[in-house]
Structure 1
Amino acid sequence: MEIKKIFNNNVILTENDQQQEMVVMGRGLAFQQRPGDVVDDAKVEKTFILENHAVSEKLAELLKEIPEQYLVISERIISMAKQELGVKLDDYLYIALTDHLGFALHRHKQGLQLQNALSWEIKKYYRNEFNVSLKALDIIYEETGYALEEDEAASITLHLVNSQMSGEKFESIVQVVNIVNDLLSIVKYHFHMELDENSLNYERFLTHLRFFAWRLIRNESTSYETGDDFLFNQVKEQYHEAYVCSQKMAAYVEKTYDWTISKDEMIYLTVHIHRVAARAME
């Protein structure tokens, strides 16, 4: 392997036999070396492959300001998250998470604790990612000796979710959380009940609301527009109370986001609401 770029004395960019870019780390790996020199395999301690060329450019800039130790921590967290969640995470997460860790640890050392206003909602709506983020806090403690607050797990969760959304803007993730929270609140107040967050029906409903919220903020129509008036009227009659609740949700969406929910979407919402609120309708 040849050195393509030197980030600092301990981190370089190279390429494997499949022409994939790799970030390679090791103590003194790039000391007195230049691009084009052969990588000293004996000094290599850690490698990871990048699929996005632009990420290596931004990593180079970031590592001018942040110790490479934070990149090592990020790589551990990302590898663990991929295994735990079974999903593909965008390469940009190496930059976003490393940068976040640098800022979070700096604040922690200064005794500054910033609360994540969406921590409660994030913990509820992205439970798998949040549980992974709690393990990420353990990794950070193992590597640095600093025990970050649980609110940091919520922030890491947003980065993990964002990475699964192919580079969606961070603000969009927050907006989705707020929309889902508001829609669930409508269901709770309509039926005067708390929902069973451990039930399969709740998980299905939550998944549907997340996708619904993404379509809303992207202004996308659904891919299953059938125009089936018979089915719509049947669901409306059979699940009347759930349908009334879905009307409240539709009114909220139209008033707040100027977005009209289709009949087909009303069918899906009504069925999901009926399932998740079945206790209140028995």
Structure 2
Amino acid sequence: MKVNKVINNNLVRSFDEKGNEVLIMGCGLGYKKKADDEIDMSMVEKIHRITDENTAQKLSDLLLEIPQEHVRIANLIIDYAKQTLDKELSDNIYISITDHISFALERMEKGMPLKNALLWEIKKYYHSEYSIGLESLAIIKRELGVELPEDEAGYIAIHLVEASVNVEDSSYVSETVTMIQAILSIIKFHFQINLDENSLAFDRFMVHLKFFIERVLKNQAFAEDEKLYETLKDHFNEEFKCCKKIKRYFLQQKGINIPDTELLYLAIHIKRILNNK
């Protein structure tokens, strides 16, 4: 590969074997280099293959501002997240995670920790992403000797959720958390129970709720199926009454009318978690 443009001593632009523009990182990689010089691949630490030109430019600008060591740590964390999560992440993850980690380290150095008001909810509703957040803190401590507070694991988790290819709106996470809390409150009040939030049944229910909310928000709810509804509704009578309250919540708060068939599926999952209780 050849240098197309030297951005700084540690970052150059080039083109891969398919002719796609790439950002190549490495300590001293761009030192005394000029256009058309061969790149010493033994010095390469990271190759960013980003197809969106706007994202590539933003990343290039960001990498100019941030210490090389912070960028290296962010790359380690992102690589770990990609290997661990069973989902694709958008290219924006390189911007959001790198920027956040560098800012968190800067704040820590100045004695300015930032509390995460959604930490408890993130732990419960986004367990996989939160676990990666905790491992990220371990990576930072191992590599830099800096111990960041648990709140930062929650922030990293949020960035991972927002970088999911199925998530398009940066407000999605907080909105989802709010709706999950509302649904759980309706269920607890309707049945006058407390749910075991440390149980496998609860974790399974959370997975269903997140997909349920995603379908509803994106107007991809299950279509009405009158035959299925008539066949099953009497088997889930009380659960369906509870779901009607959830339907009323979405209509009043979001202006969204949820089909009865979608509510029926939710009722089935509510019955399942009640049975487990």
Query: Fold conserved (TM > 0.5)?
Result: yes
Q: What does 1:40-79 correspond to in 2, within 5 Å?
A: 40-42=40-42, 44-54=43-53, 55-79=55-79
**Paired position in structure 1 for 2:240:** 243
**Aligned CA distance change for structure 1 residues 53 and 38 (closer, same or farther; 3 Å):** farther
Cα 1:231–1:166 change in 2 (3 A) is closer
Counterparts of 1:148 and 1:29 in 2: how far apart (Å)? Answer: 30
Matched-pair contact (CA < 8 Å) for 1:3–1:12: yes
**CA distance in structure 2 between the aligned counterparts of 1:164 and 1:171, rounded to whole angstroms:** 13
How big is the shift at 1:167? Answer: 5.6
Identity %: 36
Q: Equivalent residue for 1:158?
A: 158
1:272 aligns with 2:248: no
- The residue that corresponds to 2:259 in the other structure is 262
Shift of 1:132: 1.1
Q: Return the letter of the residue paired with 1:40.
A: D
Pair 1:90–1:279, CA change in 2 (3 A):
closer
Give 1:194-273 correspondences, 5 Å limit: 194-218=194-218, 220-222=219-221, 224-228=222-226, 230-273=227-270
SS of structure 2 residue aligned to 1:27: coil
Corresponding pairs, count: 276
Q: 1:88 to 1:165 in 2, by over 3 A?
A: closer
Mapped partners of 1:216, 1:167: distance in 2: 13
Structure 2 distance, partners of 1:187, 1:165, is 30
Contact 2:22/2:48 (<8 A) preserved: yes
For 2:273 and 2:58, locate their aligned partners in 1 and report how far apart those are by CA, in whole Å: 45
Deviation at 1:35, TM superposition (A): 2.7
Query: How is 1:124-203 mapped onto 2 (pairs within 5 angstroms)?
Result: 124-166=124-166, 168-203=168-203
How much has 1:10 moved relative to structure 2? 1.1
Distance change >3 Å, CA 169–CA 5, structure 1 → 2: farther
Give the drift of 1:105: 1.1
Instruction: Kindly state the Cα deviation for residue 199 of structure 1 after the two structures are TM-superposed.
Output: 4.4
Measure the CA separation in 2 of the matches of 1:2 and 1:211.
Answer: 45
User: Is there any run of 5+ residues in structure 2 with no aligned partner, and where?
Assistant: none
Aligned position for 1:82: 82
Q: Does 1:120 align with 2:120?
A: yes
SS of the residue 1:64 aligns to: helix
Distance 1:141 1:5 in 2: 34
Between the aligned partners of 1:167 and 1:271, the Cα distance in structure 2 is 26
CA contact (8 A) 1:13 1:56 kept: no
How far apart in 1 are the matches of 2:86 and 2:47? 18
* Counterpart AA for 1:173: V
Give yes or no for the alignment of 1:15 onto 2:15. yes
List runs of 5+ in structure 1 lacking aligned partners: none
Tell me if the contact between 1:90 and 1:167 (Cα under 8 Å) persists in the aligned partners.
no
The match for 2:31 is: 31
Distance, in Å, in 2 between the alignment partners of 1:158 and 1:3 is: 36
Looking at structure 2, the residues matched to 210 and 194 of structure 1 have their Cα atoms a distance apart, in angstroms, of 20
- The one-character-per-residue Cα deviations of 1:41-94 (angstroms, maximum 9, x if unpaired) are 34x141234132423211221122211222211111111111111322111111
C-alpha displacement of 1:227? 2.7
Structure 1 residues 89 and 221, CA gap change in structure 2 (3 angstroms)? closer
Q: CA RMSD in A?
A: 2.0
Question: What is the CA distance between 1:120 and its match in structure 2?
Answer: 0.7
- Secondary structure in 1 aligned to 2:64? coil
Classify the secondary structure of the residue corresponding to 1:123. Answer: helix
Q: State the TM-score, normalized to the length of structure 1.
A: 0.90
CA drift of 1:100 comes to 0.7
Shift of 1:175: 0.7
Q: Give the letter aligned to residue 242 of structure 2.
A: C
